[in-house]
Amino acid sequence: MLKTSTIVALAVAAACAQAQTKSAAESIAEYRALLAEGNPAELFEVKGEDLWKKARGPKNVSLERCDLGKGPGVVKGAFVELPRSFTDTGRVQDLESRLLSCMEMLQGFNAAEIAKTPFGKGEQASLEGLVAYIAAESRGMKLDLPQGHPEERKFYEAGKRIFHFRSGPYDFACATCHAEDGKRIRLQDLPNLTKNAGAGAGFGAWPAYRVSSGELWGMQRRLNDCFRQQRFPYPGFVSDATIALATYMGVNGKGVPSTAPAIKR
């Protein structure tokens, strides 16, 4: 009897020691895995699918003829090839920028007005659902941003410069935190966005549901908030600067499977 209880005690002690050696990163990964089982981004995906198929806007048409780069109405696989160059608008566009164009051209919405709307309000809230739905349709597919068009290569180079551009009251750049392996802020591991694995994991996770605020953030909101955290001026919704940065990260992450819409702290 005594012998068994000693063995049990030893086993418990061993388990405790094991728990202590588990790194913070592992514990966070475990917590995320638990959360991911009930990722509320799914609620946004359902809303987004409805919004995509529903006739809306001044012209009362759906977005089902919207060309996201793979032909009108093709949703599957479109997300992992954005941002890309579009001939009809003559611009390199990311998902949110392209959706705005479609909402203006097909549905008759005022794109400039939506771009000025605060995140999470009015049509910006519709965009959250749409990006969740479109990203989810490409879940697990590999990032494959095109670089054939000279504009796309220009955006990559511009994004690289913006990424390394130090400025603001903190003399900060994206690269200050995101260009080295093994960095972290408090308990958050920071992906190295200049390398393939880091860029793929970082870029390929947004849009994402943020547990702390209970909101779904698209890439545009993520990037604009990065600028705010660096105390830079607000670059603006679907501005070329944010699209260039997205191009830089997306191209760096080529071949990594997309996990969006993911779940974040």
Partner 1 sequence: MADLMRIRAQAAGDKATVRVLMSHEMETGQRKDAAGKTIPAWYIQQVSAVHNGKAVLSAQWGPAVSKNPFMQFTIKGAKAGDKVAITWVDNRGETRTDEATVS
> How many degrees, rounded to 5, is the angle at CA 112 between CA 56 and CA 153?
105
Stretch that binds partner 1, among 9-17, 36-44, 100-108, 158-166 (CB under 8 A): 36-44
**214 interacts with partner 1 by CB under 8 A:** yes
DSSP classification of residue 144: -
Nearest C-alpha neighbor of 174 from the set 225, 115, 236: 225
225 with 242: CB under 8 angstroms? no
- The closest of 228, 253, 245 to 92, measured between CA atoms, is 245
User: What count of other Cβ atoms lies within 10 Å of the Cβ of residue 59?
Assistant: 11
Q: Which residue in 28, 32, 40, 189 binds partner 1 (CB under 8 A)?
A: 40
Q: Segment contacting partner 1 (CB under 8 A): 43-51, 66-74, 108-116, 187-195?
A: 43-51
Q: Please indicate whether residue 66 is annotated as part of the active site.
A: no
List 30, 42, 113, 157, residue binding partner 1 (CB under 8 A): 42
When binding is defined by CB under 8 A, the residue of 33, 43, 55, 74 that contacts partner 1 is 43
| Interface with partner 1 (CB under 8 A), residue from 37, 58, 87, 171 | 37
Q: Give the span between the Cα atoms of 163 and 194, in whole angstroms.
A: 9
Which two three-digit tokens encode residue 198?
Answer: 């880091």
State yes or no: residue 38 binds partner 1 (CB under 8 A).
Answer: yes
Residue 46 interacts with partner 1 (CB under 8 A)?
yes
Range 73-92, binding partner 1 (CB under 8 A) = none
